[in-house]
A and B are shown apart, each in its own frame.
Chain A
Amino acid sequence: NAGVTQTPKFQVLKTGQSMTLQCAQDMNHEYMSWYRQDPGMGLRLIHYSVGAGITDQGEVPNGYNVSRSTTEDFPLRLLSAAPSQTSVYFCASSPGQIWGNQPQHFGDGTRLSIL
């Protein structure tokens, strides 16, 4: 089972560049979300989606865009990369709402460095 697949695994960008982090899941989950993980801060929610065509902001949305055209895919776009966006990014999916009693299924992460 593939589960949640994130690409790329590593990326280095220059300040001001844009890029898209890809996320795909094969479990037919309605709910998907993006988190960033910084040392000593746990995971913080960037954006989430409750189904195709529906997205909403999380705790730290500034500088990021998302879209959800299909159930399977939930890409995260950095519009103009800044050093403060250096982080590890995780995509997750869930069969139930993210603040319910269903667990999240996580990808292996994208490690992003902004120079």
Chain B
Amino acid sequence: AQSVTQLDSHVSVSEGTPVLLRCNYSSSYSPSLFWYVQHPNKGLQLLLKYTSAATLVKGINGFEAEFKKSETSFHLTKPSAHMSDAAEYFCVVSDPGYSTLTFGKGTMLLVSP
């Protein structure tokens, strides 16, 4: 079976400092992995996806994530936080072997001036 664990429910950073949102997964097959962002009262928007090509994936708004199979991790990073990055972030595992799509419980990113 597959699962997704977002290791932090809340992360607080200051504007201009690096962002690290952690995601670990388990999957029996070769999964696709996604990060989505959700701003207040909005739907989820795709940030980036990994689909077995390059292990370092670049997304929108300066975010990137690295797929590490040995560590079963897909952490999301950004070198310098902006106030507009304050939102909730979801790590998602898609597993065609099990016909399932599993969402993490979300990490709320708080950015202070």
From DSSP, what is the main secondary structure of chain B's interface residues?
strand
With contacts defined as CB atoms under 8 Å apart, how many contacts are there between chain A and chain B in the complex? 53
Q: Does A4 contact B (CB under 8 A)?
A: yes
**A103 in the interface (beta carbon within 8 A):** yes
The 4 closest A-B pairs by CB, nearest first: A106-B43, A42-B103, A101-B51, A101-B32
Q: Is the CB of B51 within 8 A of A40?
A: no
B98 engages A43 (CB within 8 Å):
no
Interface residues in A22-74 (C-beta closer than 8 Å to B): 40-45
Residues of B within 8 A of A (CB): 4, 9, 32, 34, 36, 41-46, 49, 51, 90, 94-96, 98-101, 103-106
A98, B42: Cβ atoms closer than 8 Å: no
A40 & B101 in contact (Cβ 8 Å cutoff): no
30 contacts between A and B (CB under 8 A): A4-B43, A40-B9, A40-B106, A42-B4, A42-B106, A43-B44, A43-B90, A44-B103, A45-B101, A92-B43, A97-B96, A98-B101, A99-B95, A99-B96, A99-B98, A99-B100, A99-B101, A100-B94, A100-B96, A101-B32, A101-B51, A101-B94, A103-B46, A103-B49, A106-B43, A107-B43, A108-B41, A108-B42, A108-B43, A109-B41
User: Do B43 and A90 touch (CB < 8 A)?
Assistant: yes
Q: Which residues of A contact B (CB under 8 A)?
A: 4, 40-45, 90, 92, 97-101, 103-104, 106-109
Q: Are A42 and B104 in contact, with the CB atoms below 8 A?
A: yes
Instruction: Chain B residues near A101: list those with CB within 8 A.
Output: 32, 49, 51, 94
Residue of B whose beta carbon sits closest to that of A38: B105
Of the residues B42, B46, B90, contact of A42 by C-beta under 8 Å: B90
Instruction: Give every chain A residue within 8 A of B104 (Cβ-Cβ).
Output: 42
Partner of B44, one of A41, A97, A104: A104
Known: A44-B103, A100-B94, A108-B43. 4 other contacts (CB 8 A): A40-B106, A98-B101, A99-B94, A108-B42
